[in-house]
């Protein structure tokens, strides 16, 4: 009979599995070594992550200007240290270039997010906003994760995505970032650079960075495999990303349109009657 530890090893196809936080024969490990999407564990985990994001935004809004600056810089440094620690841990037994390079979208956004906090560079903030709200949110909705809380990978995964989305929310709710269509264009340019870098590497290394590689359906997440065979699948992924960018900009554009229309309506309703106009009998 295979143990829970054996199952984890099988998921890594014979490679070194994540370090186990509990003995492989313990009841706790047996009950929590696997993560099942849309389970109670999934719901509880997402709720905890969202509450953490709300708490961070509330803390930022409670600070004065100097406090917000200090908190922003602290978040930037913490994000960079976390990203570095995670990637060192992941490749602790050597780098597998087909899966160990930090080239997934959220790996890249894990660097962009803290750099945006540290520099307030408009292009970095735009990329963080659109990549986080359009793409990173998918990790909360349909996580490509198999390992439960008995392994560090579970905690690394959720913390990394919470950092990215939390920093994007912090930028909007605390720092006042308001994206426009030019920012959407900046994010698209960053996406094009990512695509031009990752797609050739996927084909060369037989990898699936960005879910753009030509791998069998059994080796990719089900929601990606459902998009059809490669290369059509890659085209659809890129198209859906662009559509998601536009959707995340629309609320801001609609708000601007309403703000422009409101004074015009007020001016029309408050305008005095024309001189010489005859009163109704």
**Cβ-based burial of 253 (10 A; exposed 0-12, middle 13-18, buried ≥19):** middle
Indicate the number of domains in the chain: 1
10 occurs within a structural domain: no
11 occurs within a structural domain: no
Neighbours of 171 (CB within 10 A): 27
pLDDT computed for residue 218 by the predictor: 83
Asked whether 69 and 60 are in contact (CB, 8 A), the reply is no
Instruction: Report how far residue 163's alpha carbon sits from residue 257's, in angstroms, rounded to the nearest whole number.
Output: 32
List the end-to-end C-alpha distance of the chain, in Å, as a whole number. Answer: 97
Neighbours of 270 (CB within 10 A): 7
Asked whether 165 and 140 are in contact (CB, 8 A), the reply is yes
Q: Report residue 22 as tokens.
A: 């509990």
3-state DSSP call for residue 147?
Answer: strand
Instruction: Report how far residue 35's alpha carbon sits from residue 78's, in angstroms, rounded to the nearest whole number.
Output: 27
- 3-state SS string for 219-250: HCCHHHHCCCCCCHHHHHHHHHHHHHHHHHHH
Q: What predicted TM-score, i.e. pTM, was given to this entire model? A: 0.84
12 occurs within a structural domain: no
pLDDT computed for residue 208 by the predictor: 92
277 occurs within a structural domain: no
Asked whether 103 and 204 are in contact (CB, 8 A), the reply is no
Asked whether 146 and 9 are in contact (CB, 8 A), the reply is no
**pLDDT profile of the chain (281 residues), mean per 10:** 39 48 52 84 96 98 95 98 94 88 94 98 98 96 90 94 98 97 97 96 93 87 88 94 96 89 65 54 48
3-state DSSP call for residue 22?
Answer: coil
Instruction: Report how far residue 263's alpha carbon sits from residue 269's, in angstroms, rounded to the nearest whole number.
Output: 10
Domain extent, residue 101, equals 34-264
239 occurs within a structural domain: yes
Asked whether 129 and 177 are in contact (CB, 8 A), the reply is yes
- How many CA within 13 A on the CB side of residue 169? 21
76 occurs within a structural domain: yes
pLDDT computed for residue 69 by the predictor: 96
pLDDT computed for residue 10 by the predictor: 40
65 occurs within a structural domain: yes
5 occurs within a structural domain: no
pLDDT computed for residue 266 by the predictor: 62
């Amino acid at each position: 009979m295979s143990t829970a530890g054996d199952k984890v090893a099988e998921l890594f196809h014979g490679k070194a599995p994540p370090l186990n936080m509990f003995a492989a024969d313990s009841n706790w490990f047996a009950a929590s070594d696997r993560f099942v999407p849309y389970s109670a564990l999934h719901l509880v985990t997402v709720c905890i992550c969202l509450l953490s994001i709300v708490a961070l935004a509330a803390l930022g809004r409670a600070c004065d200007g100097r406090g917000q600056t200090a908190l922003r810089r602290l978040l930037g440094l913490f994000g960079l240290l976390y990203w570095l620690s995670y990637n060192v841990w992941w490749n602790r037994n050597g780098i597998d270039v087909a899966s160990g390079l930090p080239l997934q979208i959220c790996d890249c956004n894990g660097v962009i997010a803290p750099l945006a906090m540290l520099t307030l560079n408009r292009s970095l903030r735009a990329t963080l906003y659109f990549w986080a709200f359009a793409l990173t949110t998918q990790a909360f909705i349909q996580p490509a994760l198999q390992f439960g809380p008995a392994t560090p990978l579970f905690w690394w995964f959720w913390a990394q995505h919470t950092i990215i989305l939390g920093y994007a929310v912090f930028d909007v709710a605390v720092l006042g970032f308001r994206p426009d269509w030019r920012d959407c264009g900046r994010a698209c340019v960053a996406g094009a650079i990512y695509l031009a870098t990752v797609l050739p590497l996927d084909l060369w290394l037989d990898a699936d960075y960005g879910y753009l590689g030509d791998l069998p359906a059994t080796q990719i997440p089900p929601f990606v495999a459902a998009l059809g065979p490669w290369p059509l699948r890659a085209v659809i992924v890129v198209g859906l990303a662009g559509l998601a960018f536009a959707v995340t900009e629309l609320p801001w554009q609609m708000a601007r349109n309403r703000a422009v229309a409101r004074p015009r309506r007020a001016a029309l309703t408050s305008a005095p009657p024309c001189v010489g106009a005859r009163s109704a009998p």
